[in-house]
Structure formats: structure tokens, C-alpha cells
Amino acid sequence: MKIVFAGTPDFAAQAMRAIDQAGHEIVLALTQPDRRAGRGMHLHASPVKVFAQEHNIPVLQPATLKQDHADLQKRTVAQEAYQYLSSIEFDAMVVVAYGLILPQDILGLASKNGRHGCFNIHASLLPRWRGAAPIQRAIESGDASTGISIMQMDAGLDTGDTVLVGDLKIAPQETSASLHDRLAALGAELMVKTLNALERGAVITRTPQSSDGITYAEKILKNEAEIDWQLSAVEIDRRIRAFNPFPGATSSLNGDLLKFWDSCLPNKGQTEQSLNPGQVLGFSEDGVYVQCGVGVIEILEMQKPGGKKTGASACLQTYRTQEKIMQFKKD
């Protein structure tokens, strides 16, 4: 089938690669404009754009698809994108972590003239965790499982009917990075199955989402990263793993802002010894024990400003010689 693909990050590029390898023809890639990043603030193409260029797939990068946008320049760009989409032949549209809202006129293009419509890979078991950050919020909330929903898109925010669903157990030490990779692979697999079924002419069952159990995964903000040591060890452990790789949990020690990349809940033998949340209680072979509002957490991997990720015990060696009592604090 001929596919218009809309997506931006690596999660989307993996699905794009699977669709291409399955023999479907991607006739257009829509992706967000190049962004400046890194110390030199150079422009970087999205993973979807990189894949498209490597495979000679046309690319459009409109800043918006809203033809009624108040900004004349953006409105013109949106109109040009709509005209291009109107001029090409395609059978379906696939949207994966695109980052732009698809207005009704674009959804309408994907459904007219016998086309199959617009399908989305969403990284949760809808209607739980609609929205921008379903992977992180599932870990932060302590969900036991999550999954992929292949959804027939409508004009709402992740409100469309599901056509294929697959679930995954969330491992006890799962980070957003590791869960992202497992969900990306599952999403690519399920999307290819959906497109193959459409190509065979199979009947696709559309299941309306339940009105019960709706939750929203709000976008992760950098100011959420700072650890509140008054929280329980369970809550802090979830947040450290949820915010790996972005934005990275942080806390200050002797004026340095350190990042926390991995943690766990220690064995029962390590109990509360202090009334000062944030105080370092002791060291394990690779980690450090820190008092929380309720319970103790073992920090396993940390990073100093300008340094590399390393075991928490090694990371704190220099601080051990400076202070008898080490106390993490919020800025």
C-alpha cells in the first residue's frame, strides 16, 4: 500500500523502517522542522527525516497544519502542505509521535476516495494515558503493565477507536528508556500487521474506547525533575526511573546539581536510620542509601555536572572526604 507517514523521534522512525521493510511504499514523510541542539546549537534533522532522506522519500516539515493559523507565514505553509497531500495518491496515513495536531481537513483527506483513514501508534492501553508522555507516566504511577494501541484517529486527543492492542509487563527496574525500546518494537510490529490486513482486504474491527479509566499523560516538564526527598522511597524510585532519559532526576549536594539515573528499593535489612530526608545513610558495593520521607532508597547510578554517568558510590567518593554527613537538598 501507499502510505503517508507522519512522525518525528526514533520511536516513529522504528515504525517507519518496519513499514518500509514490510514492502509498503511510503510516498511522503511529514516531520517537525529541524531543531537546534547540542553545545553548538546546530540544526538537527529528526530521525524520521534522516530515514526518509536515506530512502529517497519526499519530506515536508510544516511548523503547523492549521490552515486557519493566525500567523500568515505558518498559515501559508499549512496550506501548501494540504495542497501537496491533496495532489498525491495514497491508501492510508500513519501517525507516530508526530508532535503536531492533525486538523479535521487532513484527517478528511486520509479518509476520502476509498482510503483507509489515519492510524496512530499510541504507547499505552487506551483510554489510560492519553496524551504526550504515556511511557513516563505509566512508570511514575507504578503501573504493572502498559502496551500499544493502534488507533483509528479522529479529531479528539487520543479518543479514536482502537483496531489492535498489545500489552507488556513493566519490569521492576524498568526505565522510560528501556520501556520505550520495547514499546517501539511492539508498535512497529502491530502497525505492520494492521497495514497487511488492510492490504488483504480483511475486515478491521474498530472498538470504541471505554468511558471508564480515562487518564491523561501530561507532558514532562523540566521542573518536575528535582527530587522531593519528603516523598516515600517508592515514589522517588519510580520518578528516577520514569525521568530516565528525560529530563533526568536531580538534587543538589554541596552546591552541585547531580543527576540520578538508576535506583532500587533495598533489601529489608536497610531500614530508616535518620529523620532527615535526603541524608546519605551509607554505601553499598555500587550504590548509596538515602533517607526518604518514608523508607530508604538505594541510588545506583549518578552523574556530576559535566561528568559521565557512573556508579553512585564512585560518584560520591570526593564528597565523602569533604563532609562527614552528606545531605541532598532541593535548590
- Residue ranges for the known binding site for (6S)-5,6,7,8-tetrahydrofolate are 124-127
153: CB partners within 8 A, 6+ apart = 95, 102, 107, 117, 118, 119, 120, 160
Side-chain half-sphere of 15: how many Cα atoms within 13 Å?
35
Dmax (CA) of the chain: 74
Query: What residue type is 268 in one-letter code?
Result: K
Tell me the sheet residues that pair with 122.
Answer: 149
Query: How many Å apart are CA 277 and CA 239, to the nearest integer?
Result: 16
Which residues does the annotation place in the binding site? Answer: 124-127
Residue tagged 479518543 (cell numbers): 159
Q: Assign 107 to helix, strand or coil.
A: helix
Cell numbers given for 160: 479514536
The 3-class SS string of 162-173 reads: EEEEEEEECCCC
Residue tagged 522519500 (cell numbers): 57
Cell numbers given for 236: 522517588
User: Are the C-beta atoms of residues 132 and 43 closer than 8 Å to each other?
Assistant: no
Alpha helices per DSSP H over the chain? 10-21, 47-54, 72-87, 104-111, 134-140, 176-200, 233-242, 312-315, 317-322
